[in-house]
Each structure stands twice: as structure tokens, then as C-alpha cells.
A and B are shown apart, each in its own frame.
Chain A
Amino acid sequence: MEFLVASAIGILTASGLYLVLRLRTFPVIMGTSLLTYAVNVFLFASGRLTVGAPPILTDAARYTDPLPQALVLTAIVISFGMTAVVVMIALGAYLGGNDDHVDDPSTEAEERT
């Protein structure tokens, strides 16, 4: 099971990074979203994987680590805010300049080759 989670993190990172390296804004935003998932799961997993022991105090003998959960919870909400700001900036740039390239125009020709 650990392998499944670790490989999922890896695949999310790889596909996220590939999309971040694209030249248009929309795939880059998709890429950062994927990277966000990867990072959140990574941080969450730093509490190690525990099945069936939520951090709700009962008579149970063991609980999973609550701290990464609290950190990731706010990270999820904040990343929504971040995504929204980036989308707005991308949208503003596209509507203003009718161009949704990520790189400056001067470097485009050089980068495409």
C-alpha cells in the first residue's frame, strides 16, 4: 500500500511538472493544480499511513497523526485561493493582450526550438 501512495505522489508530480513546463497558461494552471495534489498528499503522508484510526478522540487505543492533517486542511483551502488568483492573472493577461503564452514574446522563438 505504501508503494501505491508513493507512486501516486510521483506520478502526480511528474505529470504536474510536465504541464507546468508547457507554453500556455491553462495547462500550466492544470499543472500547478496537480502539483498541489502531490504536495498535499506528500505532506499528509508525512504522518504515515494509518487505516481506520481517525483523530477523533474515543476509547480507541491508537489514532493517526492529526498534525499533518490540520496543516494540509488549510493548505487545500489556501491553494484554492492561489489557483483563483493565478487564473485571474492569466485571464487578465489573455483578455488584455489576446495572448495566453506564459513566456515573454521575445524569448518565444528561442524557446520553441
Chain B
Amino acid sequence: MSLFLIVALPFLGALLPGLMNSAGRQACAGVTFMVTLVALVGLLTHLPAVLAGELVTARVDWIPQLGLNLTLMLDSLGFFFACLILGIGLLIIAYARSYLSRDDHMGEFFTYLLLFQGAMVGIVLSDNVLILLIFWELTSLSSFLLIGYWKHLPEGRQGARMALTVTGMGGLAMIGGMLLLGQIVGSYDLSVILENRELIQASPLYLPALILILLGCFTKSAQFPFHFWLPHAMAAPTPVSAYLHSATMVKAGIFLMARMWPVLSGTPEWFVIVTTAGLITMVLGAVIALFKHDLKALLAFSTVSHLGLITMLLGTGTAFGAMAAVFHILNHATFKAALFMSAGIVDHAVHTRDIRRLGGLRHLMPVTFVIATLAALSMAGIPLLNGFLSKEMMLEETLHTTLFDMPWLVPGLATFGALFSAAYSFRLIGHTFLGKERDDYPDHPHDPQPGLWLPPALLIIPVVVIGLAPFLAEPFVKLVTTSVLGGAAEMPSAHFKIWHGLGPALYMSIIAVVGGLILFALFTPLLRVWEATPRPEAKSIFDRIIAAFVGLSQAISLRLHNGAFSRYAAIMAVTVVVVGYYAWATGTVGAATRALQPTNAVQIAGWLMLVAAACGLVFLHRNRLLSLILIGIVGLIVSAGFVFFSAPDLAMTQLTVEVVTIILLLLALNFLPNRTPIESSVLRRSRDVVVSVGAGLATMALSYHYLLRDTVAPSISEFHLANAYKGGGGTNVVNVILVDFRGFDTYGEIIVLGIAALLIYALTETLLSGPVRARLLNRKPDQPRAGDRHPMMMVVMTRVIMPVVLMVGFYIFLRGHNEPGGGFIAGLIVSIAVVMQYMASGFAWASARLRYPYHGIIGTGVLIAGLTGIGSWFFNKPFLTSDFTYVRIPPFYKFELATAALFDLGVFLAVVGAVMLTLESFSRLARRAHVPEADHPMDIDPSREDNTKAEA
């Protein structure tokens, strides 16, 4: 199966549980299970290639200019992790089916789970670091959803937020690190990066890149000092904890360290940072875990500790260390997932996870007891179980590791950590299952149905089998280790054996187990000491830091953003003028190259009207109806200006837009007060005058300046003029630019227009369903209404004129490609024709005759335009490549058929739909506000029966 499909399957499958939710819980879990199973089978089809040591790749170039390609690769390391993710994922899905209660929304849960699974698989199969980063962030986001799945629990929400903050911050750091790495190597492909060890380690950017990448890994894998988020993430449902904290989320950081091992490891910096962080985390986690009373918290800290162990092993930079790390990843994933699930079973049956309230469960829950005990003993490092093997390899490795010139430091601390690790494992068994049976359990303990115990039981099989026959795991672990080493080091010759003979590592193991037993025996006095020692509480520190940042941001933003919008506008205007002046003052000013063109009386008259209208607007703006008339004058003069300056298309557009805008503003003014009161002081008004006159002078100077000069570089317009007919088949260059050269632009624009109209519709709906509706219904118009609401003259006139206007619109549309016109203008003209009917005979009458909703018209328009664009794909041309031909059907003249006309049709429909939906929404408001609609489209109609009677 293609690697793309393996990664895509969980994402595609994520849609299914949500859809299947109403089909029942079984269907929901079943479909999730199937999706994961198919992905796993697909992965396994690559097993022969992986075993043969081949590199399976899949590649699609996406944005090669940026080095951003969709490339995936599968080597034994990726295969190993993908197997863990999908394999344990299957067990988790089965377990979650039985675990989640009837109140939990199962579709939602499995959708999140699959999203997360897909992101994880994406990380381990990525061959491009940029793609890897995307999946990395996706795991942060989807784990946020999973951890906070129980939205009603505050701990769940806080834990999810904390996890997102910490891992998200690490992700940001890692983006920086990966980009640096890409800069050093000159490629973002992992396979290329991995081959450039010398280049990377010699680069001065190595250290910053290393630190940034490690920040990402450490936050994700909960390494000291970022370990605190993991225990808080335990507020998630147990299946999530088992999945995230055994095989997946926290292993992502480990995976990346292993992946980058060939190029980043082996330097003193790597050794000191990674080994120290791992060692501290391991000891700290183990010590805290012993004193946790919540089963899941204990397991959480033990996970932190084991992750520290693996990190430390990777940090040593030796091949043996890497092999031990890989082996422990496998072992930890099996026993820890089983332990989490067992904790979930106990919680499910007894309704508490507090170890102090448990004990004596071995006879009451024998199956759970066996599973949990075997897993915990493996965690403690007891021989004949898999945990023992990798832990002993770890101890062996520490003997050869010297940190800070103290040869005893690493082995000593490792033994100390292992000792606590044994102790908390014993406590987990002893205080939960052994001891006297109690009579005060919150609920009656019992073994659960197989759905809950089978998945952990299956995990116990490898725990025992590998423990008894380590040689079975050896070839595979060595194969994975080869990938980790990546040729940077020789494969260690050591074999996996239970008995290595008497050696220091065995003595250390014995010390750890015996010491663990002693600690367990002394637990009660130790707990008293622990509780008496003051400890920094990570969550409160974290909360304080967050609160400090929030305070700082608030202080800044509330100061700058105080809600006075007119002040923002003034500040912005002044800034623009000042920056513009600075550019003017520091740049060089070229000489004028164009001569002034002559001016005649008509132009001056037009200019005077414009100036009078604009200034009149300023002085008379308090009378709102008058200001509408004045702004109409401005619009008309601007249209006339467009005609004069050789822009017929613009003039037509401006004129038609003017009509609909004025209608819109009139509709709005119907509700707004029709006068603006005097509120601002003289001082403030003078300030505004200064600001606006300054801005006006600046724009005037700028415009005057460039109107007298030619462009510095030749304009691209020449290309458009030269190719409009040859390439686009039209003589109206403006229209050809709109529907052809810059068709994609236009496509975006009609979508924006459509969205604006839908937004207005949505706002109207919201207004009409809220408290505003009552106010509208009770509203008394502040002016007397016209008695003759649907005057006969107007009704007759608009009916007669309607076909004519439609014809004009059609004509304007058709000729658009070669003469002034086109979809935009035709759309506006047709809208005006329809609006006139609304005005003449009222909203109800007109909308009763409306056959297609305006939303649909917008959608059809966008769809037609989009399909026209896609059509060119079938001819192996880029999106929106146009084509045209000339045909002649007798007796007509020869005429042109162009795909651009089809696109223009889409533009036309979108414009009609958008304009009409906008105006219709406004008039819907108005309709609610008035008395009921009239019964007839005309108030006085001589041809009507009742009128004749009344007259008689």
C-alpha cells in the first residue's frame, strides 16, 4: 500500500466515527478499528522490503521552490514506530469501546483518536522536515482535544491547556531548529540531512539548531524541566492516557532524537545536554512516582522516569546505548500500556484510583491482578520479563558513561533511579492487589468483561515472551538500531541474553531490586518524611508564569486598545502621513517627464461640483438624508470622470454600483436616526480638521507628483494590450484581464463578494431571532409613511421596463469581451431591474415570485466559474486557461465562443446573487418593522373588481 495512503487513512477515517455515531457505539468503534487495521495491514505489506533493509519512499513535489515536498519514507525505525502506533492503537480502540460510558460521545472520541493517530504516523514516516513539523503540530493539537475530551472536568481542560502550551512552545522552538538545519544542509529532505553529519556538526549554527530541536523533543517527551505537563494530562480518559503515554505522543520526542541521532549525536554538547536531562528526569520521576497515591499519577511519573532513561541512553551517543534505547522503547510501550489499562480497569470496577483506598484485590479481580503484576514486575526489572533485559543493558551502558569527570555519577544515579523504580512497582502491586481485603471499597470490585482485559492481556504476551526468549527480539531490534545509527557508528555485537554472567550490571540490578523491596517495606515512615519536605509545585509555578504573561499582555493591549475607534483611525492616518513624508524627504525626486494636459471649462465645472459635494458633505453631514444625495453627486462626477479619462467599463460599473449603494443606504437609514447630534468639542473638531487636511494634502501631493512622471520601470500593461486579442480573443482589454489574465483574482473576488452577502444574511437572521425582533415589531416610524405605498405609475413603469432592462443586461454581458461591458456590469444592471420590482410592489409580492434563492445563485455562479477553471485541467493546462474559437451558423454573422464567457457567466450570477441577497436581507428587517404587506401589488388599480365597486 502506498505510504501516502497509510498516512492518509487515519485522517480520512476520522470522518467516519462522527458520521457513524448515530449507527451505534459498536459501529463507531468497529469502523475506527477497521480503519486502523487496514492501515496496519498496509504497513505490513512493506515488511519484506524493510527486512531487506530497503528504503521505501513516496514523493510528490508540492512547492519545490521552498523545498516543501510531500515526501514520505519508511525505514526500519519508522516501521517500528508505525507498528507501535497502529498496533497498540488497535488494542486501545477495542479497550475504549468497553471503557467509555453511555454518556460519552463516542464518535467524537474516535474522531480525535484517529486524527491523533494519523498525525503520529505522519511524524514517523515523514521524509521532509517541514512536513514532519506540520504533523508534529497536529499531534499537539489533536492530543489537546483528546486530553480535554471530558470537557466538563476542569482538570481535563486545564491539563489539556497545559499540555498544549508546553508542547506547542516546544514545537515553535523546533520549527526554528529544523529551519536552521535545513539552512545548513541546503535541503529539507531528511534523507539528505541525515547524510551530512560532518557538515552539520562543523557549522556554527549547530549548537542553536541542536538546542532548539532538543527543546521540541524535551517538551514533547516530558523531560526535565518540562516534565510537569504529563501528570496533568492524566485527567484524560484512561484509553487516551494509555495511548499517549506509552506508545505515541511522548515517544514522538524520543523518536525524533533517534531519527536525528546520526547527525546530532556524538558531540560533547549533545552528550552533556541529553544525558543530563535524561538522568535528572529519570531519578526525579522515579522518586515522585513512589509517593503518588493516584494509580494514574504514579504511572505518569513512572513514564516520565522511563522516558528519562531512554533519553539518557540516546544521549550517551554510543551504538550500544542506541540499541538499548530502541529495546527499551519496545518494552516500555508494552508493559506501560498494559499497566495504564489495568489502572483503568481498577478505576472502572472500584470507582477509585486512590491506592490508599485499595488493596486486597487479588482474589476479587484475579485476571487484572495477573496482568498488572506481570507488567509491574517487568517495569521493576525482574528477570524473565522484558523490562529486566533493557534495564540491565541500560545499567551496563551507564558503567561506560562518565559525566562531568565523575565516573561513579551516572551509574550511581541510574541505580538510584532503578531502585525507586522497583519500589514504586512493588508498591503498585502491593498496595493495590495484595494485603487484606477491605470492606469499604467505593464499589464492588470484579473482573471486567473481556473487552477491557483482553487488550492488556495481549500486551503481556510480548512482555513474557521477550523476557523468556530475548533472542526472538534481537534481530528486529538490531534492524531498527541500524536505522538509528544510520552508518554513523558500528553495530554492537552484543547479544540479548538473560544471563550475562556475574558482572557489575547484575550487581546493580540486585541492589535496585533489593533496595526497592526495602524502600517498599519502609514506605509509611518514608511517606511522612516526603510529606514534611517542602517541594515546588510545578502547576502553581506554571500558573503564575501564565498569569504574569496574561497580565503583561493585558497591560499592553488595554492601553493601546481602549475601545476608542476614532482615535485608532486618527493615529493610523497620522502614522501613514508621517511615514510617507519620511519616504519623500529621504528619497530622491525625479524631474517631471509628462506635460500638463490642457483644462477646459467643462472639467472645471465638474471639479467644482465634486468639491462642492465633498465639502458640503462635511458641513451638512448631520442631515443624513441630504448627505446621501451629496454622496450620490460625488459618485456621479467620479463616473463622469471615468468616461472622460477613457475608462468606459469603470464608468458603467461605478454608475450601477452607485444605484444599489444608495438603495442600500436608504434602507439602512430607515432604522437609524436621521440626524447626527453635535457631540465633539471644538477642540476635537479642529484636531480632526488638522489631521484630515494634512492627509488630504499628502495624497494630493503624491497624486500630483506621479501624474507628472512616467513609471520608473516599464509597466506590464503593454503585455496585456499586446496579448488580449491574440491570447484572450477579446478586444476589450479590461474585460480580458478580468476574465482571463487575472481570472484567478476575479474568482477570488466573486467569492469574497458572495461571502459578504452571506455574512449580511447571517447577521440579519441573528438580529431577527434575537431580542431585536420584538423591538422592530413594536417600532413606530419617526416619520409619516406615504399613503400610496405601491403607486400605480411606478408599478406599471417597472413592469414595462423590466424586460427592456434585462435585455440591456444581456446585451452588455454578451458584448463584454469586445466592447465595454461584461459580467460585473451586467450583473449589477439585472440586479437593479429586480430591485425595482421589490420597490414597486413590496417585498412579499416580489419574493413570492422568486423561483431560485439568492444563496443558490451565488453558489451556482462560483461553481460555474470554478468548473470553467477546472475544465482546463482536462486539457493538461493550468487552472483557468482559456480557449476560444469562432463559429458561423448561417444566417448569422461569424461569432466568437470563448470559455472566458462561461467564466464571466459565473461572475454575472455571483454578482446578481450577492447584490440581491444583500438588499433582500436589509428589506427583510424593514418588513418586520411595518404593518403587514398589502394584498395587492398596486394600491389603486382601476382594473380590480373591488375598486370599481367602491367607486360605484
**A binding-site residues for B, Cβ under 8 Å:** 1-30, 33-34, 37-38, 40-42, 44-58, 63-67, 69-70, 72-74, 76-85, 87-92, 94-96, 100, 102-104, 106-107, 110-113
B915 touches A80 (CB 8 A): yes
Report whether B646 and A52 are in contact in the complex, using a CB–CB cutoff of 8 Å.
yes
Is there contact, CB below 8 Å, between B749 and A110?
A: no
Bound state CA distance, A35 and B669, in angstroms? 20
Asked if A50 and B646 make an inter-chain contact with CB atoms under 8 angstroms apart, the answer reads yes
B560-572 interface code vs A (CB 8 A; 1 in, 0 out): 0011111101100
Do B644 and A103 have beta carbons less than 8 Å apart?
no
Contact B603 A4 (CB under 8 A): yes
Interface string of B639-671 (1 = CB under 8 A from A): 001101111111001100100110011001101
Q: Complex Cα distance A37/B625, Å? A: 19
**A-side contacts of B778, CB under 8 Å:** none
B185 contacts A by Cβ under 8 Å = no
Partner of A1, one of B597, B665, B681, B763: B597
**A76 CA to B661 CA in the complex, in Å?**
11
Cβ–Cβ < 8 Å partners of A17 in chain B:
569, 573, 691-692, 695-696
A90 — which chain B residues lie within 8 A by C-beta?
Answer: 668, 672
A11 touches B915 (CB 8 A): no
Picked from B691, B819, B925, the residue with its CB within 8 Å of the CB of A56 is B819
| CB pair A2 B565 closer than 8 Å | no
Chain B positions within 8 Å of A65 at CB level:
715, 717
Q: Hey, which chain B residues are within 8 Å of A55, CB to CB?
A: 646, 721, 732-734
Query: Could you tell me the distance between the alpha carbons of A1 and B91 in the complex, rounded to whole angstroms?
Result: 80
Residues of A within 8 A of B703 (CB): 5-6, 9-10, 42, 45
Are A26 and B692 neighbours in the complex by a CB distance under 8 Å? no
A100: chain B residues at CB < 8 Å are 672-673
Asked if residues A95 and B772 are in contact (CB atoms below 8 Å), the reply is: yes
Tell me if A74 and B566 are in contact (CB < 8 A). no
- B807 proximity list for chain A (CB < 8 A): none
Smallest CB separation, A96 vs chain B (Å): 6
**Contact, CB under 8 Å: A107 / B734:** no
Report the bound CA distance from A80 to B679 in whole Å: 29
- A66 near B737 with CB under 8 A, answer yes
A14: chain B residues at CB < 8 Å are 692-693, 695-697
The smallest beta-carbon distance between B829 and chain A, in angstroms, is 13
Query: Contact: A57 with B767, CB < 8 Å?
Result: no
Q: How far is the CA of A63 from the CA of B720 in the complex (A)?
A: 11
B461 beta carbon closer than 8 Å to chain A: no
Other contacts beyond A18-B688, A96-B771: 8, CB < 8 A: A2-B597, A5-B703, A5-B707, A17-B691, A29-B665, A44-B647, A58-B731, A104-B563
The segment from B280-288, B421-429, B606-614, B835-843 found at the interface with A is: B606-614
State whether B767 touches A92 (Cβ < 8 A): yes
Beta-carbon contact of A85 and B756 below 8 Å: yes
- Chain A residue numbers with a CB within 8 Å of B654 are 76
Interfacial residues of chain B within 868-882, with CB under 8 A of chain A in the complex = none
> How many of chain B's residues have a CB under 8 angstroms from any CB in A?
120
CB pair B672 A111 closer than 8 Å: no
Q: Is the CB of B673 within 8 A of A20?
A: no
Q: Write out the residue numbers on chain B whose beta carbons fall within 8 Å of the beta carbon of A44.
A: 642, 645, 647, 650
Binding site for A on B (CB under 8 A): 562-567, 569-570, 573, 594, 596-599, 603-604, 607, 610-611, 614-615, 617-618, 621, 624, 627, 631, 634-635, 638, 641-642, 644-650, 653-654, 657, 660-661, 664-665, 668-669, 671-673, 676-677, 679-681, 683-684, 688-689, 691-693, 695-701, 703-704, 706-708, 710, 715-717, 720-721, 724-725, 731-734, 737-738, 742, 745-746, 749, 752-753, 756-757, 759-760, 763-764, 766-767, 770-772, 775-776, 818-820, 824, 828, 911, 914-915, 918, 921-922, 925
Given contact pairs A83-B664, A104-B564, A41 touches B594 in the complex (Cβ within 8 A):
no
Docked pose: A111 CA to B610 CA in angstroms: 32
Closest to A7 in B: B700
> Which one of B695, B706, B763, B911 lies within 8 Å of A13 (CB-CB)?
B695
The answer to whether residues A49 and B737 also contact, given A11-B610, A64-B645 and a CB cut-off of 8 A, is no
* Bound-state Cα–Cα, A24 to B775, Å: 21
- With A and B bound together, what is the CA distance between A41 and B648 in angstroms? 14
Q: How far is the CA of A103 from the CA of B563 in the complex (A)?
A: 6
- Bound-complex Cα distance A53 to B921 (A): 41
Instruction: Let me know if B734 and A70 touch, CB within 8 A.
Output: yes
A69 touches B649 (CB 8 A): yes
CA distance in complex: A94, B624 (Å): 16
Contact among B621, B672, B697, B824 for A74, CB-based, below 8 A? B824
Of all chain B residues, the one with the shortest Cβ separation from A95 is B772
Contact A102 B614 (CB under 8 A): no
B672 to chain A, nearest CB (A): 6
